[in-house]
Structure 1
Amino acid sequence: MSPLIALCSNQQTLSGYGALHQLPTLLGHTAGDVLLFASPSFLASAHWATLAPHIAATLVDIVTVTHEASPQQLNDWVTTWRGRCRTVVAIGGGSTLDAGKAFSTLACHPLPAERYLEKIGDTALTAERLTFLAIPTTAGTGSEVTQNAVVTDTAVLKTKASLRHPNLVPDYAILDPALLRGTPAAVLANCGIDAFTHLFEAYLSRQANPLTRALSLTGLRLFVEAWPFLADSDTRGEAAREKMLNASWLGGLCLASAGLGVIHGIAGELGALKPWHHGKVCGQLLLPFFDRLAENENEAQQSLLHELNHQLFPLAQQQFPAQHLKLWITDNACSPFWQTTERLTPAQVTAIAERATNKYSLVDYSAADRAGLITRAWPEGHH
């Protein structure tokens, strides 16, 4: 029997070049009093210069987001803005969207942020939150359609955890690929491989069912069509970035419904320790994970991999689908996301591996297995 899956999506998702210009119209359907969460790069862009006059009348203030929000930062924002805004708009990468999303719910809850966090909290979120609109400027996290907001504290609590509730899915998402123009190739690759990992882990999840696998497969097809041309400046690049943005949205929908696997189980714990780019971390773990998939003889997993490879590359008769995927991704990347000078100590590798979970992987991986993935992703980390 297939698992029972609940799909929670936006009330409206507007997708396509120029979609950002629909924001003033959407805000006309909300309660107004808008607090904007935005990345510095967006606020410095021509997009903001064009948009700002059209929303100035309803704008209460702007919160600039430079990194993943901590519980204390969220608590400070709530203290400052509770009761002073009725609508939240977030424009930026995943950190910006998650910060706005977290604020939109915490502003309607009485306790500090840490009380509601998974792993360490003791209180469940309710459905209450402010109206929330999400506009990604990167194509990777899918935060504009997920049911969670990531909160990170590397200083005090040493945790990376989520606020989670089905009502955390934003009311509206605007996917405008024009916002990705000029993004450095390294950022496009790091975010794109995050989108792939969401789709791939959701496809292989033991919680997946035919509906979520169909959505994952659609997103993975878009990824394959986009990946080789992601950083191109011509019309082919424009089309590729639009496809990746939609693949990212599908990845967010699939991860929220079917769950993720061991790569994200490790990445979450590593993120509590190191302020490394989440997508890059996932990408570096993905390559040794492909090797593990090739070695593993789990019948259900191998069947899914062969079917995936056939769907994505119908002309490639590959006996080893995991290795074929690995080579295709590395050969067609616009930037070598797997290269790093970062290192982990043996104690850090052990701590991350022991605290990590396998999430919804089809196969169980021991702490030693997880440590092996980590040390293969960061080869000198075990020296």
Structure 2
Amino acid sequence: MGTHFKNICTIDYTLYWLVLFTLIALLSGCLDSVPTTSSTTQPSVARAYSGPVAATADVLAFQTNLWNNLKDDNRCGGCHGTGGQSPSFARDDDVNLAYGEVLALVNLTTPAESRMVIKVAGGHNCWLDSNSACGDVITAYIAAWGSGSSTGAATQIELEAPVIKEVGASKNFTATPPASYSAVHDLLVDYCSNCHVETAATPQAPFFADSDLSASYEAVQSKINLDSPANSRLVVRLRDEFHNCWDPNGSTAVNCAASANLMQTAITTLAESITPTIVDPSLVISKALKLTDGIVASGGSRDHSNIIALYEFKTGSGSTLFDTSGVEPELHLTLAGSEGIDYNWVGGWGVEFIGGKAQGSTTASQKLHDRIKTTNEYSIEAWVVPANVTQEERPIVSYSGG
């Protein structure tokens, strides 16, 4: 069976957090006929160990949560195993000696600050397509070791001071059209008046091709970037989207690049004529986050006991949602479709689903079946933001075969 998170009837929503837990007798009041038991530990499949037993409870916790997951050749055992590079924390002849080697590499109080995590997150021998995802997985291993749990620990939300954003000068449109706007206006009237005027056969707003200079100037402002003319919507529409280009060179052939250059030059002339607005230094100006920075966390901690899979969407790009729960096997989800058409990555760790889905492989999904069947119960937590206020209730997450 596969697990997938799919968009049904083209609903549009943004998913910011997804976590799957097994529950211990949480729903027993509703499911009296179904016997329940505590979730049991199911360690990762790895090479058989025949060395000395763990000398202490802490060594055993290290063995269960970190060593078992990293000692194989496709992780760290290929280099840091028996007879390999120092430190030999992945040696498979004696887990107690491996424990002694690893202590300098981990921070059980703040797992994310462990030297091992920083090294792998920086690109050292990452086994996934994302270095940050590898770092998150090892962080989960170390956190589970520190908590004494084999299936997850409380995740401490670490608050970091944001980068101070100095407020600089910016250009603003004048109350009336400056003389330098005439070049932009001429292009709009000549090449856009078939659609972007109120009297067109099929009027298309905004009506920036109006022959009245003031009306055109007021309507076009949202399509012009005075601080970066090349990023103006009027330029991008011609250059990248090939919309209604013309023949600036008199060659009888439409040329979108040349059309965009003419428009950009005209907008640049307009922008250069406008004096930047300087913020009054006597004012107390906010240096807070921009909206696109998102708000990642606000405090507290999260209990990840009995966790099965965790998706935090930290990578911000690509076509894979990484399972960073630290519970093997890793159940990564593949985003179906094309970015920008079926889904979009958004700030603050999230993915907007427009018409696509994210689905795990049949093989990796086996861990859901294996862990859920021990309690006959499970819980799914998802942080979802609807993209509109008109759509009705829709399924968002399913554990199914298609």
> Normalising by the residue count of structure 1, what TM-score does the alignment of the two structures yield?
0.25
Q: TM-score, normalised by structure 2?
A: 0.24
More helix by share: 1
Q: Which has the higher contact order (CA 8 A, sep 6+)?
A: 2
